[in-house]
Amino acid sequence: DGGITQSPKYLFRKEGQNVTLSCEQNLNHDAMYWYRQDPGQGLRLIYYSQIVNDFQKGDIAEGYSVSREKKESFPLTVTSAQKNPTAFYLCASSMLGGQPQHFGDGTRLSIL
């Protein structure tokens, strides 16, 4: 969906380095999500946020952090505590009240 922009498309991280993945939406969606996708696996929820300045841990939050200072932005930081960060990261957004989630194009993170 053109309304959800993730950047960069590819990202490389050195050992011990924090990196931040950007996710911006112009759909006026209330909720935003971060998922991790590994080969042969489904999407696993890292963090989600339903309103500004509030967010909840998903199933695999360890080693990640997020912020939600603006409705349209939900950046994800992969910290050095995440020992296996190589994956495809997908951001999604939706209206509240049982509306479908729409995804961005993803960021592929690799370790140098």
Partner 1 sequence: GENVEQHPSTLSVQEGDSAVIKCTYSDSASNYFPWYKQELGKRPQLIIDIRSNVGEKKDQRIAVTLNKTAKHFSLHITETQPEDSAVYFCAAGEGNEKLTFGTGTRLTIIP
Binding site for partner 1 (CB under 8 A): 1, 31, 35, 40-45, 48, 50, 58-59, 90, 94, 96-106
CB of 44 to partner 1, least distance (A): 7
The Cα–Cα gap between 45 and 19 comes to 18
Closest CA relative to residue 85, chosen from 34, 8, 12:
12
Check: CB of residue 21 under 8 Å from CB of residue 35.
Answer: no
Q: Which is nearer to partner 1, 7 or 18 (CB)?
A: 7
**Minimum separation from the CB atom of position 14 to partner 1 (A):** 24
